[in-house]
Amino acid sequence: MSRVELPRTKLAAIALLVLAMAAVPLYAASFGDNYVMTLASRILVFALAAAGLNMALGFGGMVSMGHSMYMGLGAYTVLIMQTAGWESGWLQLATIFASVGLIAAGVGWVALRTHGIAFIMITLAFAQMFFFLFVSLKAWGGDEGMSLPRGSNFGALTGNATALYLSLLACLWATIYATHRLMGSRFGLVLRATRIGERRVRAVGTATLPYRLLAYVISAWICALAGFFLANLSGFVSPAYLNWTVSGELIVMVVLGGVGTVVGPVVGAVGLMLIEELLKVWTEHWMMVLGLLIVAMVLLLRRGLWGLIDRPSAHDAGPAK
């Protein structure tokens, strides 16, 4: 399989994004601006979750309204294990990947036997089931949510907000790089082919369900990892994390940044959340203005914000950038 090269303009844009994100802790420490650190942390969490959803939606054509469920499960696993006395961050991550992997495999096995609106409704139904489950669990805050007793234990790094932020940043760009390489492999080629014509892929003798199911599980793992960071960065866990509206936000980020592009979800998350913050300062009716802006950008920017960086290269029909 030939290696896919990114155009220089896109490489430069990625480098600028990484440097800007990495410079946030230095800026916050220099000027004592905790708000910027909090906002940047939230942007990175949703960028990671959007990158996860993009694996299913952008490359596999699976429109899931239930990926907020995996974010919530990642966050609640931290809370439940903390309250039970299991404070090790590594143990919590292992538990998250094991439990979410099993749940996502079960949900995917059911949902992927359907298509279109049926797939959307099944993923939405599972997400709402877990949402109401955690609303009913009063031992962990019920519908009001609950604060973490303490952060996940990572030895000397425990409680270090800067270390946690940089770990999140590293996970985000490791995910982006891994996705880029994965989409250039046989797995990525088959997955993207199923998005275009699943029947044609089956007609040449390739079983599509294992590829689509694995992509769905990987996307769930990434969203659950985002939930782990969200719980630790905010110090609070709420059933609102599992609400279907969060899945809708993630879909908007993917579409706004560029569906089926590797870096697009990150750009979409950054763009959407920065615009949202600016509009909150400008007007109390920011939701209406934001909605109109999203509609305009989706109609005018068919390839998303990331598509503005460069025109499609010869590889764009292959692994997306």
| pLDDT tens, residue by residue, 220-254 | 999 999 999 999 999 999 999 999 999 999 999 99
Q: Is the pLDDT of residue 101 over 90?
A: yes
- Least confident piece of the model among 37-41, 87-91, 114-118, 310-314: 310-314
Tell me the CA distances in angstroms from 312 to 305, 315, 316, one per residue in order: 13, 8, 6
pLDDT-derived band at 310, boundaries 50, 70, 90: low
Q: Is the pLDDT of residue 306 over 80?
A: yes
- Extract long-range pairs of 171-174: CB within 8 Å, 24+ residues apart: 171/48, 171/225, 171/229, 172/44, 172/47, 172/48, 172/51, 172/266, 173/18
Q: Thinking of the domain 8-308, which architecture would CATH place it in?
A: Orthogonal Bundle (1.10)
> Where are the domains positioned within the chain?
8-308
**139-189 pLDDT tens trace:** 888 888 899 888 888 876 777 888 899 999 999 999 999 999 999 899 999
pLDDT-derived band at 5, boundaries 50, 70, 90: low
Cβ–Cβ < 8 Å for 168, 233 = yes
- Residue 186 phi, psi dihedral angles, 5° rounding: -60, -40
- Residue 208 phi, psi dihedral angles, 5° rounding: -90, -30
3-state class of 114 per DSSP?
coil
- Report the run of H or E that residue 146 belongs to, with start and end: strand 146-147
Q: What is the pLDDT of residue 2?
A: 41
Cβ–Cβ < 8 Å for 239, 233 = no
Quote the tokens at residue 312: 């499609």
Q: What is the pLDDT of residue 216?
A: 96
Determine the Cα angle at 53 with ends 210 and 14, to 5°: 115
Q: Is the pLDDT of residue 4 over 70?
A: no
- CA distance linking residue 321 with residue 319, whole number of Å: 7
Q: Is the pLDDT of residue 193 over 80?
A: yes
- CA distance linking residue 39 with residue 35, whole number of Å: 6
Q: What is the pLDDT of residue 318?
A: 45
- CA distance linking residue 294 with residue 292, whole number of Å: 5
Listing DSSP states for 4-15 in one string gives PPPPHHHHHHHH
Judge residue 116's burial from the number of C-beta atoms within 10 Å of its C-beta, 0-12 exposed, 13-18 middle, 19 or more buried: exposed
pLDDT-derived band at 6, boundaries 50, 70, 90: low
Q: What is the pLDDT of residue 116?
A: 85
- CA distance linking residue 74 with residue 77, whole number of Å: 5
Across 97-117, average pLDDT: 94
- Least confident piece of the model among 190-194, 198-202, 211-215, 269-273: 198-202
Quote the tokens at residue 195: 């998005």
Q: What is the pLDDT of residue 321?
A: 52
**69-97 pLDDT tens trace:** 999 999 999 999 999 889 899 999 999 99
- CA distance linking residue 312 with residue 317, whole number of Å: 8
Q: What is the pLDDT of residue 204?
A: 86
Q: What is the pLDDT of residue 247?
A: 93
Q: Is the pLDDT of residue 314 over 50?
A: no
Q: What is the pLDDT of residue 156?
A: 64
Is 55 or 13 the better-scoring residue by pLDDT?
A: 55
Quote the tokens at residue 205: 């003798």
Angle between helices 89-111 and 67-83 (to 10 degrees): 150
Percent of the chain with pLDDT over 70: 94
| Alpha-helical regions (H) of the chain | 8-31, 34-57, 67-83, 89-111, 117-136, 161-183, 186-203, 209-234, 244-257, 264-282, 286-300
3-state class of 309 per DSSP?
coil
